[in-house]
């Protein structure tokens, strides 16, 4: 028994020695294997958990060398300076399979309705609220001069702009030069069209040489770009007069910028929404005849709703974004904010078309017939969206009643089954790429808004979205495009309350929207309805919106700015979160 016990102890000792050697050798091998590595197995475990993936130890070890090679490539890539204006080589295509572009090429008709006569108001200050169509008639027939109208708007911008916090830069010298030229040309018999001599404002993400283009952020407060945005060039060629660069939510989110929160002229306790905050606020307040805004996810629709203006978000690929701040290359769109559907059509005509600089722009004419027989427009409505409305439902349903009264019978349609919200991170990824250097250099700490629901946090968390999932999301986006095309096969325009999932869906698919006021809530805040058109068929949505406006007159209302004359108006913000 004793010999057996001693033998067992010797065997155990030998086994222990062997295990120790294995551990030492294993540790040495591991030390050799991982020496100098910047990525560990634990790093892969943590990262894969964020992505919702699982890998075994062997799979993780196999990845290490390639992950470190990727990291070296990332670092080398970051040595290459990428300005915001440089777009990816991957171009978003909103066209469903089989989409026929040729049918649009021959439809070049543009027939806006010109007033028979426009009378001057007793109080010339009231001209500030005239639609572009009326102002154009007065200028064309030389009842007023562009310089007179320009000075009127400049004075209003000086008086009310700081209080509404909608004004970033007054372009007074440029405006007076352009207005004087417009008057000289008209006197010489040269009339450029309905925008000739009309004062307007630009959202401050569109470059104008010689003036700051701040993007609403203290980081870019002194930025001057030595280029002219295509939209500015086209409007200048049309004879329009730039009087102001208008506020925008910082880097195109919300209504808060480095100058404070842009206010809603209908309610000075409320922001104007965004991100085309100043464009909508200034237009509603009669500080410009019209303005240019941009939309990625509601940035024309939302402030137009809040401020009671008319807005057009065009089809993706209609308007060149050259000289405009990029937020999302596959979702950014530029469009007008004005007082009526007719105004939107006039303005839109002059800013569409390719410029050889923005490769996403289609060379297609814009067709608009202001007296098109309404019965030629097949109209639908999103019943589920109307049913979902909790407040003011009756006022939204009244829009359908108006259409029935003018001889239309909207038919019920349903949105695609795919929830667009699961794809919303597409915007986050592209925005994080557009402002990559802010995150890497900690410049995002200088932004006005901080916290979970603000750009700095979104830029950071977007870095953890896998490239594979971004591409998968865009593949699902293709399914959305095809599904919506099938739903709209027999529909030209459909109606919906402006908020809700339709807003993101149609920004993802690139469809145009015309948003117009449809009344007021019990507190006197404007409400809006959206007319969604098929791709490149803004004209039909505008025609239907025009008919609705003629039947209701909500677009003729404007806010009482006498409240802005009070000393406390425009007081410092209580909060900017």
Instruction: Quote the pLDDT of residue 38.
Output: 86
Bridge partners for 526 per DSSP: 520
d(CA 88, CA 92) in angstroms, rounded, equals 10
Cα separations (Å) of 488 from 180, 226, 411?
48, 43, 11
203 noted as active-site residue? yes
The domain defined by 102-115+124-354+372-565 carries CATH number 3.90.1300.10? yes
Q: Could you tell me the residue ranges of all domains in the chain?
A: 18-77, 102-115+124-354+372-565
The SS3 of residue 155 is helix
Q: Which of 407, 415, 379 is nearest to 502 (CA)?
A: 415
The single residue of 217, 229, 275, 281 carrying the catalytic annotation is 275
Instruction: Quote the pLDDT of residue 563.
Output: 87
279 noted as active-site residue? no
The single residue of 60, 146, 163, 203 carrying the catalytic annotation is 203
- Count other Cβ atoms within 10 Å, centred on residue 400: 18
Q: Which of 271, 269, 304 is nearest to 290 (CA)?
A: 304
Q: Name the one residue in this structure whose structure tokens are 């237009």.
A: 283
The single residue of 217, 229, 272, 299 carrying the catalytic annotation is 299
Instruction: Quote the pLDDT of residue 391.
Output: 94
b/e code 515-533 from CB counts within 10 Å (16+ = b) = bbbbbbeeeebbbbbbbbb
Instruction: Quote the pLDDT of residue 444.
Output: 97
The SS3 of residue 507 is helix
Condensed to tens digits (0 to 9), the pLDDT of residues 547-565 reads 999 999 999 999 999 988 8
**From edge to edge, which strands make up the β-sheet containing 333-338?**
167-170, 241-246, 199-203, 290-295, 333-338, 310-313, 513-520, 526-533, 493-497, 379-382, 411-413
Ramachandran quadrant class, 165 (left: phi over 0; alpha: psi -120 to 50; beta: rest): left
Which of the residues in the chain have pLDDT under 50?
Answer: 1-2, 4-5, 21-22, 24-35, 574-577
Instruction: Quote the pLDDT of residue 108.
Output: 76
Condensed to tens digits (0 to 9), the pLDDT of residues 326-341 reads 999 999 999 999 999 9
Inter-axis angle of helices 425-434 and 467-487, to 10 degrees?
130
Condensed to tens digits (0 to 9), the pLDDT of residues 303-326 reads 999 999 999 999 999 999 999 999
Instruction: Quote the pLDDT of residue 16.
Output: 55
């Amino acid at each position: 028994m004793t010999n057996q016990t001693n033998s067992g102890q010797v065997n155990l000792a030998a086994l222990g020695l062997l295990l120790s050697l294995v551990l030492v050798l294993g540790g040495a091998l591991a030390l050799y294997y991982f020496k100098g590595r910047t990525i560990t197995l634990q790093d892969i475990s943590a990262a894969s958990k964020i992505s919702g993936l699982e890998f075994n130890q062997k799979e993780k070890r196999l990845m290490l060398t390639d992950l470190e090679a990727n990291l070296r490539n990332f670092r080398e890539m970051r040595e290459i300076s990428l300005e915001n204006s440089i777009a990816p080589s991957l171009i978003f295509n909103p066209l469903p399979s089989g989409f026929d572009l040729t049918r649009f090429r021959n439809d070049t008709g543009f027939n806006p309705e010109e007033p028979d006569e426009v009378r001057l108001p007793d109080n010339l200050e009231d001209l500030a609220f005239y639609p572009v169509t009326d102002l154009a008639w007065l200028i064309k027939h030389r009842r007023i001069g562009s310089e007179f109208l320009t000075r009127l708007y400049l004075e209003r911008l000086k008086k009310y702009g700081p209080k509404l916090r909608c004004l970033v830069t007054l372009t007074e010298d440029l405006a007076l030069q352009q207005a004087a030229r417009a008057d000289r040309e008209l006197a010489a018999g040269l009339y450029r069209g309905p925008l000739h001599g009309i004062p307007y404002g630009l959202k401050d993400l569109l470059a104008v040489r010689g003036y700051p283009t701040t993007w609403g952020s203290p980081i870019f407060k002194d930025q001057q770009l030595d280029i002219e945005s295509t939209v500015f060039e086209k409007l200048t060629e049309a004879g329009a007069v730039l009087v102001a660069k208008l506020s925008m939510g910082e880097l195109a989110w919300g209504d808060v910028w480095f100058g404070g929160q842009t206010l809603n002229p209908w309610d000075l306790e409320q922001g104007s929404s965004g991100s085309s905050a100043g464009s909508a606020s200034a237009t509603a307040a009669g500080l410009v005849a019209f303005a240019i805004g941009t939309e990625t996810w509601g940035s024309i629709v939302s402030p137009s709703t809040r401020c009671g203006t008319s807005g057009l978000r065009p089809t993706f690929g209609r308007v060149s974004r050259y000289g405009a701040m990029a937020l999302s290359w596959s979702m950014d769109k530029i469009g007008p904010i004005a007082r009526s559907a007719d105004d939107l059509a006039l303005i839109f005509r002059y800013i569409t078309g390719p410029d050889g600089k923005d490769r996403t722009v289609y060379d297609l004419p814009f067709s608009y017939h202001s007296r098109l027989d309404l019965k030629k427009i097949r109209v639908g409505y999103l019943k589920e969206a109307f049913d979902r409305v909790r407040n003011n439902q009756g006022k939204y349903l009244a829009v359908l009643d108006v259409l029935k009264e003018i001889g239309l019978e909207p038919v019920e349609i349903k949105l695609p089954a795919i929830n667009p919200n699961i794809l919303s991170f597409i915007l986050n990824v592209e925005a994080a790429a557009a402002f990559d250097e802010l995150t890497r250099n900690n410049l995002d700490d200088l932004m006005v808004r901080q916290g979970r629901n603000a750009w700095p946090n979104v830029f950071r968390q977007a870095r953890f979205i896998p490239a594979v999932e971004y591409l998968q999301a865009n593949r699902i986006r293709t399914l959305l495009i095809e599904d919506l095309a099938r739903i709209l096969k027999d529909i030209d325009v459909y109606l919906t309350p402006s908020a809700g999932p339709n807003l993101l869906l149609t920004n993802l698919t690139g469809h145009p929207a015309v948003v117009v006021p449809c009344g007021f809530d019990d507190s006197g805040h404007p409400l809006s309805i959206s007319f969604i058109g098929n791709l490149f068929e803004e004209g039909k949505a505008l025609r239907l919106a025009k008919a609705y406006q003629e039947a209701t007159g909500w677009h003729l209302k404007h806010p009482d700015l006498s409240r802005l004359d009070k000393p406390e108006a425009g007081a410092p913000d209580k909060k900017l979160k």
